[in-house]
Amino acid sequence: MRTIDLTPLYRTIVGFDRMAHLIETGARLDTATGWPPYNIEQTGEDAYRIELAVAGFGPEDLSIELKEGLLTVTGKKASSEEGRNFLHRGIAERGFERRYQLADHVRVTGANLEHGMLSLSLVREVPEALKPRKIAIQVGAASASSSANDAPLIEGEAKAGKAA
């Protein structure tokens, strides 16, 4: 297994230590076996899909949990080997656990199991308070102690003030 030392990044990047930590964690979360195989696809500007190949697993064998930004997909197959005599066993039917560290404001909107493919739909919803806002520029001799009747500094607040 390869390990990546991100220590040099900590010396040159200020304020992004959380991002570097997420990269480190993501590298450790990925299992060494790479099973089951999966795809991560961007389906829209703020929409994503994770697809896992889980052939042989039914909905009762799969568990999907989201806790504190960590999405965990687990598969546990009940043993059905009683009375079976295999000459060759190429289908493993082994259990698995796949983990994905989700970014802030990303939530799972649905899960679908069809033809051995588990599809998880995700969407990023940034709250209005965190979206960029346009700041209006006032012209003239406006002082720092302007009255409440002056025009608002932020355009979004102008519409809210008229509605009140």
- pLDDT digit string (tens) for 26-77? 555 554 567 889 999 999 988 999 999 998 899 999 999 999 889 999 999 8
Residue 71 lies in a domain: no
As a whole number, mean pLDDT of residues 79-85 equals 77
ω into residue 127 within 30 of 0, thus cis? no
pTM for the predicted model, two decimal places: 0.61
Residue 85 lies in a domain: no
User: 24 is in which domain, residue-wise?
Assistant: 1-30
Residue 58 lies in a domain: no
CA distances from 48 to 101, 103, 118 (A): 14, 12, 14
Residue 16 lies in a domain: yes
Contact (CB, 8 A) for 125 and 110? no
User: Hey, which of 64-68, 91-95, 149-153 has the most confident mean pLDDT?
Assistant: 64-68
Residue 12 lies in a domain: yes
CA atoms of 61 and 65, how far apart (whole Å):
14
Check residue 73 and give its pLDDT. Answer: 95
CA atoms of 60 and 91, how far apart (whole Å):
19
Check residue 161 and give its pLDDT. Answer: 47
| Three state DSSP letters for 53-116 | ECCCCCHHHEEEEEECCEEEEEECCCCCCCCCCCCCCCCCCCCEEEEEECCCCEEEEEEEEECC
Residue 158 lies in a domain: no
Check residue 76 and give its pLDDT. Answer: 92
Residue 57 lies in a domain: no
Residue 101 above 80 pLDDT? yes
Please tell me the total count of domains within the chain: 1
Residue 110 lies in a domain: no
How far apart, in Å, do the first and last CA atoms of the chain sit? Answer: 61
CA atoms of 55 and 60, how far apart (whole Å):
13
Q: What is the mean pLDDT of the chain?
A: 77
Higher pLDDT: 32 or 110? It is 110
| Neighbour tally for 73: CB within 10 Å | 21
